[in-house]
Structure 1
Amino acid sequence: MIQDADIDFHPTDPDQHDWAETNYFAFFNAELGICGHLQALFRPNLGVVMTDVRIWRGLVNRSWDALYVANHHHQPMSKSLRRYTLPSGLSVEALSVRDYRVDYLGTDETEIHFDVRGIMPPYDIADPEMDPVTRRQMDGGFVLGEAYRGHWDMHARVTGEIRCRGETFPIDCVQVMDHSWGPRTETELPAMMWLGSYFPERDLAVHAFFPADPAASDTLSLAHGYICEGGKVTGLTGGQLKLTRLEYQPIAGIWEVEDADGRRLTLYGAAIAGGPWPVYPSVDVGISLMRWTLGGDVGHGLAMENSAMAYRVRHGAAARG
């Protein structure tokens, strides 16, 4: 179970140089085809932080066609995650484990200001009392790798506005935020898909992780996830994602899930915004704002699939001969 203490940095071996803690806040305006995020990745044993701020309008296939990009590496980090202001212009205040204030002052007449209010408790994928897949895997390792052994997700209402290159866009959406801690390599990070959706007419949110092998398969099997309906959270016991990609960019999917109560849902989705996200020089992500249908209801949420450049090179044209 996630506690208040999990807002902040977690104890680790001070010699573990690749230990990372992340804060991830995403937002969108589906009507305008706008999406974006703010990520802070801290390396507490090195005393540095990387921040990445991106905004997309529509769906693009080149990094430089994003509406806004600001990536800062190896800046001095804060002493706490409860309240911090970084040299990159990102400020975060944790009011509780479910509630946050996020502000960003960037370049090119760009600012971001919003409040995050959790609509559910944080979902701890490593807690066997909360996650039924983890209950089954306690003696069999951790399918997502050590980088995500410490991790929670939470659907939250995000309200505020962004001002990008002089234009102002209102934000009022329900989107997943997360926090991770653990050893995280930058060269061999295991490929995985992370995605969610919220259906306002049902007050229903769905979220899931899937290990990925994008060069070999378009069908992914569930690692962890949940359904949250009316504030009640139920862990997923199974699921499958049949993904359509343009190169490494998710553009459509059929998403099937089953929860611990035996409820089965099938979602059909297509990308309406997003693009490549080179989160590190050695890891790239395809991130998309997806429009999902569930019966006659429509929902939205971000989907992202990462894979290491080492993985892509192994499966690239030169490697194939």
Structure 2
Amino acid sequence: MSDPRKDKIGSFVKRSDLYFHEPRYRDYRWLETNWFTWIIPEQAMRGHIRCAFRTNMNVVECMTFVYDQPNPTAGEFGVRYSETKSHVPMPPTNLDKYELLSGHKVEMTEPMREWHVRYDGAADTFFDLHLEAMMPPVHVAETSTNSQAEATIRHGHIDQMMRVRGAVRIRGKDHEVDFAAPRDHSWSPRPESSSGYGFPMSGNFDYGSFGPAGQDFTFFVQTRNDWNDLRTGHVHNAYLIDHGEVLRVKEGIGRYTYAPDDWYLTAVRYELEDERGRSHVFEGQPKSFRRAGAGTLAVVEWRTPDGEIGWGEYNWHGDLYELQRLGKPPAG
């Protein structure tokens, strides 16, 4: 049997993996997700669509939001747009082409490479987006690093970086979109919990893209962070796109600086070594925030040691009860 960690990256995922998977028999926790995103760097504006299909319960939760709030303490009142619908009927079709009563319409127009995503929401808001793959879809079995034992994700999960172009209207104001942003697709039994994973995890799901429309270079990382020192994250899955070539990451570490008295990052740094032995350092400065529950998202301006500027996001998942136990963020 071939080893996904040694085969050519991007060769593991098959077209069938982009459809609904056979759910575990009668397991109400079974969850299949579709996640699409976009970003407008010059406005530090970020949009998310997450459709979560409880296939054994015949129901979908659809979460759509946009944020561009520079004040990290503004909370939910600082979000530009937010709409969650928790009891949407399952579509009669599969994930290659579906339409939901929540206003979401998704069509895979070229298998594994292109999607058209439409959202017609509330408050004079819509998204009309074309997503074109910058890489083949990759499974977490292909992107593991030397720290794979720390992984927060051990089941079905596909990541893919896309060039996202199109138009959005956010509460009556029109914007053009043209920049790199990730999508993903996951499937596994996933219980509802304060962290979203059924156990007290802390992890980051972060990316940055450089060059015009983010097409020159991209890094994408998933981390597991130690509760005894949340200033450090073990990069357990990652990849790079270097001028169109997808590369594995051998190992990496995240370093996080928190506000003195609140659970959000004021700076983030990644140190990565790729499969060719090259070292990469990315320093991030958050520019806008969305804080909901025990997690934080932020649009990040990234810089390399030679002064290259990129844009992306940090997406931190925490756990309510562990954060309450700790009381305050680590200093330094």
Q: Do they fold alike, i.e. is TM over 0.5?
A: yes
SS in 1 for 2:145: helix
SS in 2 for 1:218: strand
When structure 1 is superposed on structure 2, of 7-16 and 306-315 the one drifting more is 306-315
Match of 1:174 in 2: 180
1:219-272 deviations in Å (ceiling 9; x for gaps)? 111111011112211111111111123433333211111111111100111011
Q: Which runs of 5+ in 2 are unaligned?
A: 1-11
SS in 2 for 1:212: strand
Q: 1:91 aligns with which of 99, 102, 105?
A: 105
What amino acid does structure 2 have at the position aligned with 1:39? R
Q: Is the 1:59–1:288 Cα contact (8 Å) retained in structure 2? A: no
**Aligned partners of 2:105 and 2:238: how far apart in 1?**
29
State percent identity of aligned pairs: 25
**Aligned partners of 1:268 and 1:225: how far apart in 2?**
17
1:38-62 deviations in Å (ceiling 9; x for gaps)? 1111111111111111111232430
Match of 1:66 in 2: 79
Q: Is the 1:49–1:75 Cα contact (8 Å) retained in structure 2? A: yes
Q: 2:160 aligns with which of 133, 154, 158?
A: 154
What amino acid does structure 1 have at the position aligned with 2:299? L
TM (norm. structure 2) is: 0.85
Match of 1:281 in 2: none
Match of 1:107 in 2: 122
Question: Structure 1 206/48 Cα, relative in aligned 2: closer, same or farther at 3 Å?
Answer: same
Q: Is the 2:163–2:179 Cα contact (8 Å) retained in structure 1? A: yes
Q: Is the 1:214–1:248 Cα contact (8 Å) retained in structure 2? A: no
**Aligned partners of 1:232 and 1:257: how far apart in 2?**
17
User: Aligned Cα RMSD in Å?
Assistant: 2.0
**Aligned partners of 1:87 and 1:132: how far apart in 2?**
37
Match of 1:25 in 2: 36
Q: 1:144 aligns with which of 146, 152, 160?
A: 152
Give the superposition deviation at 1:131.
Answer: 3.1
What is the 5 A alignment of 1:283-294? 284-294=294-304
**Aligned partners of 1:311 and 1:17: how far apart in 2?**
26
Question: Structure 1 312/241 Cα, relative in aligned 2: closer, same or farther at 3 Å?
Answer: same
Q: Which runs of 4+ in 1 moved over 6 A?
A: none
**Aligned partners of 1:237 and 1:181: how far apart in 2?**
26
Q: Is the 2:53–2:90 Cα contact (8 Å) retained in structure 1? A: yes
What amino acid does structure 2 have at the position aligned with 1:253? V
What amino acid does structure 2 have at the position aligned with 1:250? L
**Aligned partners of 1:194 and 1:37: how far apart in 2?**
14
**Aligned partners of 2:13 and 2:165: how far apart in 1?**
24
Q: Is the 2:24–2:189 Cα contact (8 Å) retained in structure 1? A: no
TM (norm. structure 1) is: 0.88
Q: 2:192 aligns with which of 186, 195, 210?
A: 186
Question: Structure 1 29/47 Cα, relative in aligned 2: closer, same or farther at 3 Å?
Answer: same
**Aligned partners of 1:78 and 1:215: how far apart in 2?**
44
Match of 1:120 in 2: 135
**Aligned partners of 2:30 and 2:265: how far apart in 1?**
29
Question: Is the counterpart of residue 235 in structure 1 residue 248 in structure 2?
Answer: yes
Match of 2:276 in 1: 261
Q: Is the 1:249–1:288 Cα contact (8 Å) retained in structure 2? A: no
**Aligned partners of 2:301 and 2:39: how far apart in 1?**
11
**Aligned partners of 1:170 and 1:48: how far apart in 2?**
32
